[in-house]
Amino acid sequence: MKNRIRIIDNATGQPVEAELFDEVTVEHFIETQQEWRPIVLKAARQLAARGSHQLIPQHFHWDWTTKAPELNVLANTFYGIRYENKLQGLMKLETVGQFCSCRLPEQAGNALVYVDYVEVAPWNLKPLMSSLGEKARYNAIGSRLIEAAVLKSKEEDCKGRIGLHSLPITESFYAKACRMTPVGRDPAKQNLLWLEYTPEQAENFLTGAR
Amino acid sequence: MKFNSDPEWLKRQAALEDNCFVSVGGLVSAVEDLEQQSQQAITSRAVFVNLLNLTRREHELSWEQFSQKLDVDLTELIGIANDESYKPTPRTVTKIAHFLHVPAEKLFILSGLARAHDRQFQEAALRFAARSQPVKALSSEEHEALKEFVKFLCER
């Protein structure tokens, strides 16, 4: 599956056409290691040197290549966003598993699509690029990935229901920018905040309704 | 999948996102972990170079002949063998794996393109590194070490 989508080029403030695809391979994971990781590490060191420990990305240790064996698992779906021949974002979804069940009281027990991993290229993250004296390049990558997760949920008859464990530093994005409902801390998952969408909230996100 | 094509929706969402962190996944570990992982990559890389060198010598090939057999650019091959910071391309590593009849994923790890989270794999690689110091002629011990390690790569 390949879809033409639009993201924002910060240099002009205008939408540009990118590609969202699900044929993610091990080579994409290697690309993240080779192209993303050195920048993340460099920025993390800059932030640490300045004493801005709270801004050190909480995902800097990730290694997508360890996810390679999961590529062939049917219950997993991977999505990537490519623009200018570079990977701009990557996401892993699970449609079956221990976290694929709703927790909000009004929809508890219903099936949902679990967002297991999301990462955006470091050159699209303002806190990292600022530490390196540069500007973030493309915007709305995270929103496009969450949109893909909701659409996948609809395809799977989960009616747009998705759930995820947010890192502390990303809670406001999911709660405020995506308007997901924070349900509570999950002791089974490092006490991370669990958020989820009802079908109505998911639809509002997709259409922009307030 | 039908994505929202409304530019106003996109701009509004971009303003809300504002290039902030959006990562989902496990909690951060210490920076030292990263340094340790990078040390492991260097060890794996040394094993990869040894494996390449012993294989070449076992087949009694010059580097030039070896590059032709592999269908890999000679500069790339020499770069891998002599420059620790040189990153081979996945395509080259795949060709080497094909020549050795071992799974490409295993060589991705050894070449430093991917990382192993398998203690047994790391121990086998270290054992091979310890037993395969380069000498002029391929000793029977090296021959055995090479055979054993290639067998290990194929079996697992």
Which pLDDT belongs to residue A155?
95
At residue B6, the pLDDT reads 95
Please tell me the predicted confidence (pLDDT) of residue A25: 84
Shortest Cα distance, chain B CAs vs residue A109, angstroms: 22
Half-sphere CA count of A175, side-chain side, radius 13 A = 14
The overall average pLDDT reported for chain B is 78
ipTM comes to: 0.88
Give the whole-angstrom CA distance, residue A40 versus residue A57.
8
Confidence (pLDDT) at B156: 62
- Residue B112: per-residue pLDDT: 76
Q: Per the CB < 8 Å rule, is A117 touching B113?
A: no
Task: Please report where in the chains the tokens 């008859």 appear, as a residue.
Answer: A157
pLDDT, chain A, mean: 88
Q: What's the CA gap between A141 and A121, in Å, rounded?
A: 9
Q: What angle do CA A178, A186, B13 make, to 5 degrees?
A: 10
φ/ψ of residue A13, rounded to 5? 75, 5
Check CB contact of A124 with chain B, cutoff 8 Å. yes
What pLDDT was estimated at residue A98?
A: 86
pLDDT digits (tens, 9 = 90+) for A68-80: 666 666 678 899 9
CB-based contact B19:A126 (threshold 8 Å) = yes
Q: Do the chains contact at B3 and A147, CB–CB below 8 Å?
A: yes
Band of pLDDT at residue B107, cut at 50, 70 and 90: confident
Distance between CA atoms of residues B15 and B21, nearest Å:
14
Partner-chain contact B7 A6, CB within 8 Å = yes
Higher pLDDT, B82 or A16: A16
Q: Do the Cβ atoms of B22 and A118 come within 8 Å?
A: yes
**Residue B140 pLDDT > 70:** yes
The tens digit of pLDDT for each residue in A38-70 reads: 888 888 788 777 766 555 555 555 565 666 666
Q: Return the residue of B nearest to A116 by Cα.
A: B25
